[in-house]
Chain A
Amino acid sequence: MTIVQPVQIQVADKVFEAWDSLGVQGRDELLARTLTLFPEAQRKMAVWQIANAQQEIADTLTMEGPTGENNELSTQGRGAFLCLSNDESDAATVGLVGQVFAALIAGNPVITVGLKGQEIMDKIATSVPEGVIQNIAESALDSIVEANNLAGIAILCDDAAAQVLNQRLAAKSGLICQLVIENDSQNLTTIAAPHYILRFVTERAISINTTAIGGNATLLELGSLDE
């Protein structure tokens, strides 16, 4: 049975690979162009999310392992992320900007909602490839939430709303949709924490048998190192 995804999810899925392939550095360069368009508090949050991503997920880690193998660990985006806030306060808007920048810098296409979302999208859309950020009307929210291919939702809301949303997401078939909640819209204790970014990524491990193609230079080097 073919499940038809909402058009916004289709658009997001289409641009996802290219956006993700840019890497943190490539996305940083594009997103950095938008920063001056944001008010100071929001800009600080956006700058911090980008810097934090550079610190936490930008580098491909080389894993220790046996000779003759190359093992690397890196991160990728998860896919279409919905970012929204149930709180209209200025502080919450800073949080929403934090969500959007965290989701984007991690490699995900982002869908925002309503007027607040539109304001953020307008500042970003011209600097990133088309489709990487989209905004929807409140009326379209349900169809996005229900979409099987939605990779995650980052939301500023209270506990009660979070529970309801969590139940809705859990009721869906398909992948387990990530729900990234911030319930402290004044202090943004979750959004402004260093490991927040990890909720927006998946990890990729690549193991290459280097002896199959090009020899075992590591061992050769180790064997002849001066002491």
Chain B
Amino acid sequence: MFKAIEVLQPNFIQRPLNELWQLISPLYNMDEEKWLNELLPLAKPTDAALKTCTDAATQLIEQVRKDDDSMSMIDALLLEYSLDTKEGILLMCLAEALMRVPDKATADAFIKDRLSVADWASHAKNSDSFFVNASTWGLLLTGKIVTMDEKHDGTPANLVNRMVNRVSEPVIRKAMNQAMKIMGHQFVLGRSIEEALSRGKSYRDKGYTYSFDMLGEAALTAADADKYLKSYEQAVESVGRDTYTKGYRPTISIKLSALHPRYEVGSEERVMTELFESVKGLITKARALNVGITIDAEEADRLELSLQLFEKLYRDESVQGWGLFGLVIQAYSKRALPVLAWLAALAKEQGDRIPVRLVKGAYWDSEIKLCQQRGINGYPVYTRKEATDTSYLACARFLLSEHTRANIFPQFASHNAHTIATISCLAQELGATTQEYEFQRLHGMGDALYNSLIKGNDICVRIYAPVGSHKDLLPYLVRRLLENGANSSFVHRLIDARCPVSELVDHPVTTLESRKSLANPNIKLPIDMFAERKNSFGPNIEIASDWGPFKAKIDAFMTQDTQWRAYPLVGGEKVETGQTHTVTSPYDHSETAGQIDWADAATVTKAIDLAEAAYPAWSSRPASERADCLDKTADLMEENYAELIALCHREAGKTIQDSIDEVREAVDFCRYYAQQARTNFAAPHTFTNYLGQEQSVQMTGRGVFTCISPWNFPLAIFSGQVVAALVVGNTVVAKPAEQTSLIAVRAIEMMHQAGVPTDVLHLLPGDGATVGAPITSDKRIAGLAFTGSTGTAQLINRTLAARGVAPVPVIAETGGQNAMLIDSTSLPEQVVRDAVRSAFASAGQRCSALRVMFVQEDIADRVIPMIKGAMQEQSVGLPYLHSTDVGPVIDKKAQTMLLEHIERMKVEGKLIGETALPAFADKGTYVAPAAFEIASIDQLTDEKFGPILHVVRYKAKDLDKIIDTINNSGFGLTMGVHSRNETTCARIARRARVGNLYINRDQVGAVVGVQPFGGQGLSGTGPKAGGPHYLQRFAIEKQL
């Protein structure tokens, strides 16, 4: 970690560029406490400076509040419909989705859904803003605000609801759409640059200028990227033609994710060539027309990639010497300061100046969520608002320093009066003139603040203004607002006269230093997310400092020199049976991962003998001791993470992220079941029995458990079954899948190393006939956990039943015919992203994978081509490469079956798209992801366990019939739903007979203890793996 204060030394940015670059990545998830202690001295004012900036901020706020017209319309809207009210959120949800709903029935249902759950009437006439009142539903619905005021029946809360029911639906829909257009008009400056320039003239007369933003979704297809590029080009041309001569010239802000469907680290090569060329073309045009270009900031994962691209563009002759090519830096990022130092050095080296917009950051919520989901070791952003504000001021001090000003033109974007006042004071303190920096604000927000500022100061204030169709942009802007509600807080408080000025002018450093800890203890680190157990961690493969060292460890296991040699493990002995099988890599059959001996009949018998003999001692051990073994196993798996990932690649053909997720799931199973066992199995449980007497029961093991697991989660499912059986007190004979036994051997070795006695746990690699049959037909088997096909589960169940002994528990997780239901309120971009991941990730070889997508016919013609386009951007390839999205399928048998189905579908269905295969595909067992449109789910007889998606169109009115059809398939594993209509979601949830339902997200990747996993009907017996009831089924409730 570098000394932050050193950036203030003029010679700091004279260091070699590469040296400064090296400072950036390690700060990605740096310990927040440590790093803030570094930053604080840069942001901490002297007593005199504190007083000056507090006075200035106070004066600014008082000026704003004195101004009767101070509240912009969006400000007013946020004040009335604050995002901490139900109505605020529902209003925004309506705004986010309504305008894209093409069919009347769904629109009507959606409106009814939104309006029926909140107290809209309470907002009527609360606001002084005409716009807000106009947006309040009573007015818009009927124009009968007078009626509402009269509260003629004394129940205003239900008035709107009654109106909804009373007024005919077309009227309501029309009114609602009109309301959304009004809102859109406020959020969006113009539908075209020409309109925006025209509407913006009055502000430019006041001294403002603009940065126009053709906002939109990230492109998922090449066609979308092309569309956005043309849109940017037109914007540049329009601004270039602008004849307004007064003041500062407008610029254009661009979003790189809109210009390339794969703007991500895994596609670095494409970003640095294809995206580079697109942006370069745009820059060339912009430079010729003297229109500045700013690259917007996006998610933290893309920061380093964006800087690499920026550097390449900046050094290109098309940019050299221009000075109007800039970018945005987010102060909530721990990497902000070294990035700024690197940019200053880059500019110094080239002799130009880079415009840099310093923002606080708009993706805070999703950054926190993503890190928690992926188990990242820390956060890339600060967890307190005041820490971000402190970072902002620390960065500002660097940017305004004399030695930086020559290289960077700072553009401070904020709606916080205190920040603005402090920046002004800081500039004065450091001798920066108002010509050496500018302020920026969002269109429709902070008008009053900046009107006050601009009146008394000769300073440039640039308005960041969205331009485009309301239908496209309002949803996007509202989503940003919803996703980052925290950002609205200052604006809200500023204009809320009830909030004392003194509460708004606290210096962030003062606030931060008053905290017991600099990091927010309420936002737990991803690893501490669960109260009673440690979360598994995962490296972030998008971040060089996190992934680089980790990858190096994996690489050590990836050469052909590393070959695993494995045997059945019985009583801790490696049993050489002579039945040796070579394990080939699914992606290249000329490569091997190692060799394994399969168990023979004698080995199987010996394993069961030993397991039976070991049961009494193992089951009598305290549950806490057995749980300790699981915790230790989890730790060992994390210690051997790299080897396990390499095995996932080489033996199972799993991609990098899939392999990480695999290890994480195994680790989570161990820790979750350990915690469950401590809670529920350690001591007898006392209850009052049906006769009213106190009674105690103790959960104990049952005896020898058979565990049979599949190849698709060769570590996670395998380990989950085994440790669940063990921790309860059973002994175990485990049969891994034939294709993936090497990783199972390592798992068992780790369990033994962790303290599970070698006579308690035995591994029997082999086929169904030699191993599977005897471990299901032996009379001593006291229970079975199985994951695999429905047919095999039935066969095993028959074998167990035929033994002539008392029935034993059969815990079977089997197949699915998983569906996703998509209605017309859903967001197509999100649908396509989630559907592609759900259907094709892991080459579709997940129990939970999407097989049949039902799309409401009204949006099918929009969604289906997007799926095709997104499939064309998928990369099928070597699973150990970051650029690969889809790896091989497991073996030749699977490949043949899938290819046959694809051929059948090409005849019986309509091909939507097929992803290209790599040139070397013949070396392994690859299946190109394919999607087909079919008429009905009835065309499918059984599950096709691979990357094949089927799409069915449905009419909105037939939703219940569709649910019936899915239920009638008999399978009931997972289902995805995409709808903004909560009533629809609840209806599907109530009716669909599935074990795992996922709403407005993908439908794969269940997390242990968070989304317990398992189906019903033909999809499994339950209880759910990774859930609170799973262990009970492995145990007997023994009365004491």
B371 to chain A, nearest CB (A): 9
B865 to chain A, nearest CB (A): 22
Cβ-defined contact, A219 with B685, below 8 A:
no
Cβ contact of B385, chosen from A48, A179, A209, A223, cutoff 8 A: A223
Which residues of chain A have C-beta atoms less than 8 A from B793's C-beta? Answer: 176
Cβ-defined contact, B1000 with A205, below 8 A:
no
Please classify the interface of chain A as helix (H, G, I), strand (E, B), loop, or mixed, using the class held by over half of its residues: mixed
Cβ-defined contact, A203 with B998, below 8 A:
no
Please measure, in the bound complex, the distance between the C-alpha atom of A198 and the C-alpha atom of B996, giving whole angstroms: 18
Binds A, one of B40-48, B462-470, B798-806: B798-806
B797 in the interface (beta carbon within 8 A):
yes
B1038 to chain A, nearest CB (A): 9
Please measure, in the bound complex, the distance between the C-alpha atom of A183 and the C-alpha atom of B1036, giving whole angstroms: 14
- Which 6 A-B pairs rank lowest in CB-CB distance, beginning with the nearest? A48-B690, A66-B372, A170-B801, A212-B1000, A209-B1001, A215-B482
Q: Within B2-45, which residues are at the interface with A (CB < 8 Å)?
A: none
Known: A73-B1027, A205-B1006. 11 other contacts (CB 8 A): A67-B365, A73-B1024, A171-B798, A174-B1018, A194-B687, A203-B1014, A212-B980, A216-B365, A216-B366, A223-B523, A227-B515
Which residues of chain A have C-beta atoms less than 8 A from B685's C-beta? Answer: 194
Closest chain B residue, CB of each to CB of A46 = B690
17 CB contacts below 8 A, A to B, read: A63-B1012, A65-B372, A65-B1007, A71-B1010, A176-B797, A183-B806, A189-B1039, A194-B1037, A198-B1032, A211-B365, A211-B483, A214-B93, A215-B485, A216-B369, A217-B485, A220-B83, A222-B522
Closest chain B residue, CB of each to CB of A222 = B522
Asked if A215 meets B83 with Cβ closer than 8 Å, knowing A203-B1023, A227-B515, the reply is yes
B456 in the interface (beta carbon within 8 A):
no
Cβ-defined contact, A169 with B523, below 8 A:
no
Please measure, in the bound complex, the distance between the C-alpha atom of A61 and the C-alpha atom of B692, giving whole angstroms: 28
A163 in the interface (beta carbon within 8 A):
yes
Which residues of chain B have C-beta atoms less than 8 A from A175's C-beta? Answer: 970, 1017-1018
Cβ-defined contact, A205 with B483, below 8 A:
no
Please measure, in the bound complex, the distance between the C-alpha atom of A201 and the C-alpha atom of B1012, giving whole angstroms: 15
Please measure, in the bound complex, the distance between the C-alpha atom of A189 and the C-alpha atom of B695, giving whole angstroms: 11
Residue total for A at the interface (Cβ-Cβ under 8 A): 66
Asked if A205 meets B997 with Cβ closer than 8 Å, knowing A21-B990, A67-B365, the reply is yes
Cβ-defined contact, B1000 with A194, below 8 A:
no
Cβ-defined contact, B485 with A205, below 8 A:
no
Cβ-defined contact, B1021 with A48, below 8 A:
no
Which residues of chain B have C-beta atoms less than 8 A from A68's C-beta? Answer: 365-366, 368-369
Cβ-defined contact, A223 with B1021, below 8 A:
no
Which residues of chain A have C-beta atoms less than 8 A from B1023's C-beta? Answer: 198, 203
Cβ-defined contact, B800 with A170, below 8 A:
yes
B500 in the interface (beta carbon within 8 A):
no
Closest chain B residue, CB of each to CB of A158 = B806
Contacts from A to B (Cβ < 8 Å): 17, 21, 44-45, 47-49, 61, 63-69, 71, 73, 76, 78, 98, 159, 162-163, 166-167, 169-171, 173-176, 178-179, 181, 183, 189-190, 192-195, 198, 201-209, 211-217, 219-220, 222-225, 227
1/0 per position for B530-563, CB-CB distance to A under 8 A?
1100000000000000000000000000000000
Please measure, in the bound complex, the distance between the C-alpha atom of A209 and the C-alpha atom of B1014, giving whole angstroms: 20
Interface bin, chain B: 35 or more
Which residues of chain A have C-beta atoms less than 8 A from B1014's C-beta? Answer: 203
1/0 per position for B969-999, CB-CB distance to A under 8 A?
0100000000010100100011101111111
Q: Within B780-800, which residues are at the interface with A (CB < 8 Å)?
A: 793-794, 797-798, 800
Cβ-defined contact, B369 with A211, below 8 A:
yes
A216 to chain B, nearest CB (A): 4
Cβ-defined contact, A204 with B995, below 8 A:
yes
Please measure, in the bound complex, the distance between the C-alpha atom of A170 and the C-alpha atom of B1024, giving whole angstroms: 21
Cβ-defined contact, A162 with B1001, below 8 A:
no
Please measure, in the bound complex, the distance between the C-alpha atom of A4 and the C-alpha atom of B33, giving whole angstroms: 68
Cβ-defined contact, A203 with B1027, below 8 A:
yes
Which residues of chain B have C-beta atoms less than 8 A from A224's C-beta? Answer: 385, 486, 489
B757 in the interface (beta carbon within 8 A):
no
Closest chain A residue, CB of each to CB of B798 = A170
Q: Within B931-968, which residues are at the interface with A (CB < 8 Å)?
A: none
B909 in the interface (beta carbon within 8 A):
no
Cβ-defined contact, A163 with B523, below 8 A:
no
Cβ contact of B1029, chosen from A48, A167, A198, cutoff 8 A: A198
B1009 in the interface (beta carbon within 8 A):
yes
B557 to chain A, nearest CB (A): 30
Please measure, in the bound complex, the distance between the C-alpha atom of A87 and the C-alpha atom of B1010, giving whole angstroms: 43
Binds A, one of B84-92, B124-132, B597-605: B84-92
A-B contacts counted at CB < 8 A amount to 221
Asked if A162 meets B530 with Cβ closer than 8 Å, knowing A178-B1021, A198-B1023, A211-B366, the reply is no
Please measure, in the bound complex, the distance between the C-alpha atom of A206 and the C-alpha atom of B1013, giving whole angstroms: 10
Which residues of chain B have C-beta atoms less than 8 A from A64's C-beta? Answer: 529-531, 1009-1010
B812 in the interface (beta carbon within 8 A):
yes
Asked if A98 meets B690 with Cβ closer than 8 Å, knowing A67-B372, A194-B685, the reply is yes
Cβ-defined contact, B810 with A205, below 8 A:
no
Asked if A73 meets B1016 with Cβ closer than 8 Å, knowing A48-B690, A167-B801, A209-B1001, the reply is no
Which residues of chain B have C-beta atoms less than 8 A from A78's C-beta? Answer: 1016
B1022 in the interface (beta carbon within 8 A):
yes
Q: Which of B93, B697, B991, B1010 has the most CB of A within 10 A?
A: B1010
Which residues of chain A have C-beta atoms less than 8 A from B690's C-beta? Answer: 44-45, 47-49, 98, 192
B691 in the interface (beta carbon within 8 A):
yes
Q: Within B66-96, which residues are at the interface with A (CB < 8 Å)?
A: 83-84, 89-90, 92-93, 96
Which residues of chain A have C-beta atoms less than 8 A from B414's C-beta? Answer: none
Which residues of chain B have C-beta atoms less than 8 A from A47's C-beta? Answer: 690
Cβ-defined contact, B369 with A66, below 8 A:
yes
Closest chain B residue, CB of each to CB of A188 = B690
Which residues of chain A have C-beta atoms less than 8 A from B805's C-beta? Answer: 163
Cβ-defined contact, B794 with A176, below 8 A:
yes
Please measure, in the bound complex, the distance between the C-alpha atom of A73 and the C-alpha atom of B530, giving whole angstroms: 16
Which residues of chain A have C-beta atoms less than 8 A from B1001's C-beta? Answer: 69, 207-209, 212
Closest chain B residue, CB of each to CB of A167 = B801
B154 in the interface (beta carbon within 8 A):
no
Which residues of chain B have C-beta atoms less than 8 A from A163's C-beta? Answer: 801, 804-807
Please measure, in the bound complex, the distance between the C-alpha atom of A73 and the C-alpha atom of B1010, giving whole angstroms: 9
Cβ-defined contact, B369 with A203, below 8 A:
no
B773 to chain A, nearest CB (A): 15
Which residues of chain A have C-beta atoms less than 8 A from B368's C-beta? Answer: 67-68, 219
Which residues of chain A have C-beta atoms less than 8 A from B486's C-beta? Answer: 219-220, 223-224
A92 to chain B, nearest CB (A): 14
Please measure, in the bound complex, the distance between the C-alpha atom of A195 and the C-alpha atom of B1030, giving whole angstroms: 11
Which residues of chain B have C-beta atoms less than 8 A from A192's C-beta? Answer: 689-690
Cβ-defined contact, B810 with A215, below 8 A:
no
